[in-house]
Structure 1
Amino acid sequence: MADRVIPAPIPDPTTKPFWDAAREGRLMLGRCRDTGRHFFPPRGVSPFTLSTEVDLVEASGRGTVYSFSVMRLAQPYAPAMVELEEGPRIFTNIVDCDLAAIRIGMKVRLEWRPTEGDGPPVPMFAPA
């Protein structure tokens, strides 16, 4: 992924707090005040209760590979679903490792990748 140009996300009013935190190197999750459960992507309504009683909280940046695939194009890469330590899953890429070494259950850590122009960085994960 290092040589790929990553398109910059276009924040909207709902996603702006997430991308502002990304610029500071912080991965944010939603947290339902009613259940205490975390969710991703963060938004103004809990997916568990449909309540607007939600908070934006920082994630640890640690997780486990839940599922993945290896795309064998001119420049191979590994899209994956990572289950965060806090519970929710995030669709991302696994970076900085031999793609043949990726396994379900592998521990990973957050890595931010720059995007084109002045866009905010995007979260990806590398072996822990």
Structure 2
Amino acid sequence: MAANESRIMAIPETHPEHEEYWRAAAEGKLIIKHCESCGEYHHYPRVLCPFCKSEKTTWKEAKGTGTIYTYSVMRKGSPYVIAFVTLDEGPRMMTNIIDCDLDELHIDQRVKVAFMQSGNQNNPGPCVPCFTPSMTENS
């Protein structure tokens, strides 16, 4: 069974400190925060590093690849997948898996970023980073 890509994605709440994140997503780029003090990457974006509490955080473009840590298929209405993906840089992010065969998904599956427009034609929202299965297990 395939996930229904016609599902309308809710418009996420945005904040001024995340403007760069949403601007990059509109350009088809996934950026995450990197701490210049301890070297750790983190997501969800914050001003302070959650590891060392440093304010020296910068945006870095992520590779856009990772693995499915866990997922759940929502079958009420049009089926869709909610997942936690572990990015190759280390952080885990809650996301949707799109353009996939629900019966073929599995934990530790390689995925790559794909962007989905939130909202609808009358009320469009920002592009949201989602993931789709990679064609190869190495990407």
- Of 69-78 and 98-107, more deviation after overlay is shown by 69-78
Q: Return structure 1 stretches of 4+ with deviation > 3 angstroms.
A: none
Aligned: 1:87 with 2:93: no
The alignment-based identity, stated in percent, is 39
Alpha-carbon separation, structure 2, partners of 1:77 and 1:11: 23
Which residue identity does 2:40 align to in structure 1?
A: R
Structure showing the higher strand proportion among its residues: 2
Structure 1 match to 2:37: 34
Equivalent-residue separation in structure 1 for 2:40 and 2:56 (angstroms): 12
RMSD: 1.2
Q: Confirm or deny that 1:63 pairs with 2:66.
A: yes
Partner residue in 1 for 2:77: 74
Aligned counterpart in structure 2 of residue 119 of structure 1, from 89, 103, 125: 125
Q: Give the Cα separation in 1 of the matches to 2:82 and 2:53.
A: 30
Given candidates 34, 53, 56, the residue that maps to 2:56 is 53
Q: Distance in 2 between matches of 1:74 and 1:11?
A: 26
Q: Which position in structure 2 is the counterpart of 1:18?
A: 21
Q: Which residue of 1 aligns with 2:99?
A: 96
Please report the TM-score for the alignment, with normalisation by the length of structure 1: 0.94
CA distance in 1, matches of 2:128, 2:59: 18
User: CA shift at 1:74, angstroms?
Assistant: 2.0
Partners of 2:69 and 2:59 in 1: CA distance: 24
Contact 1:28 / 1:42 at 8 angstroms: preserved in 2? no
CA distance in 2, matches of 1:97, 1:120: 22
* Ranges in structure 1 where 5+ consecutive residues have no aligned partner: none
Output one character per residue of 1:43-76: Cα deviation in whole Å (capped at 9) or x when no partner.
2110011110111101111000000111111211
Contact 1:70 1:76 in 2 (8 A): yes
TM-score, normalized by length of structure 2? Answer: 0.87
Structure 2, unpaired ranges of 5+: 135-139
Please give the alpha-carbon distance, in whole angstroms, between the structure 1 residues aligned to 2:11 and 2:72. Answer: 23
Q: Secondary structure at the match of 1:121?
A: strand
